Structure 1
């Protein structure tokens, strides 16, 4: 089964069971606003489905689905690092966990214009192309210094 087939089956399941889907979405939204452990629920939603679909993508024979989910994980990782260093956001922004969850769902939508693709194309890729040579040199220099330190011992 391809990743596209799996994603379409999941969408079909929610469409057929619209009441169940809306109920689950409503419950999750309320829990993300009022529940304790909202951070855990948000991170489960942002990791569990993408991880499962990523495994399917790895096992498939096509490259397109691999690229799609690699772009998601790059976006997720950057967002997680930004969130870590601006931890005050979680207490200042009302409904933070609901907004983050909505953002992550937008990033994983099964369309070409999902959040991950837009963020990657408009922000990450241009920045990477501009700075990757100097970052690569910095990493190589660091590895050489580390190797030199290890050889001395």
Structure 2
């Protein structure tokens, strides 16, 4: 086997840094500059998952030494997370993480019950915009919008 055998045995060390670090770094920088938030979700989720894998490896390194296929399994999993054809990180976020973590559900008690219900249904970005609207136009302006939306819903 010679050279090919040596390359195959060390595939994780040769290809791994490019797939697990360099390409995600480049794609993350592109995502920061793009106006879309979809690629931000993909790459932020990737870095969270990669950090969890790294913490797992650091915590369990003595056990993982007994599994010679671990580096290759990690490489395959990271390929699935990274490669645009799969978008594995975004898939994991959509199917698993989003279900269990409702980050940002807290709304200040300064708002009345109706306003809190509306704000809790919004994404964090939309909520920030609405809170800026309330600061500049007052809480009564939001109540007018909510009433108008309710009346429109009744007519439909």
TM-score by structure 1 length? Answer: 0.53
1:67 aligns with 2:61: no
Q: 1:87 to 1:39 in 2, by over 3 A?
A: farther
- Structure 2 unmatched runs, 5+: 107-156
Give me the whole-angstrom Cα distance separating, in 2, the residues matched to 1:54 and 1:102. Answer: 20
Instruction: Note the 1:35-114 alignment, pairs <5 A.
Output: 35=10, 38-39=12-13, 41-111=15-85, 114=87
Give me the whole-angstrom Cα distance separating, in 1, the residues matched to 2:62 and 2:70. Answer: 11
Name the one with the larger helix percent.
1
**How many residues are treated as equivalent by the alignment?**
102
Structure number with greater Rg is: 2
* Larger RCO, structures 1/2 (Cα 8 Å, 6+ apart): 1
TM-score by structure 2 length? Answer: 0.52
Q: 1:88 to 1:121 in 2, by over 3 A?
A: farther
Give me the whole-angstrom Cα distance separating, in 2, the residues matched to 1:65 and 1:94. Answer: 34
Q: CA RMSD in A?
A: 3.1
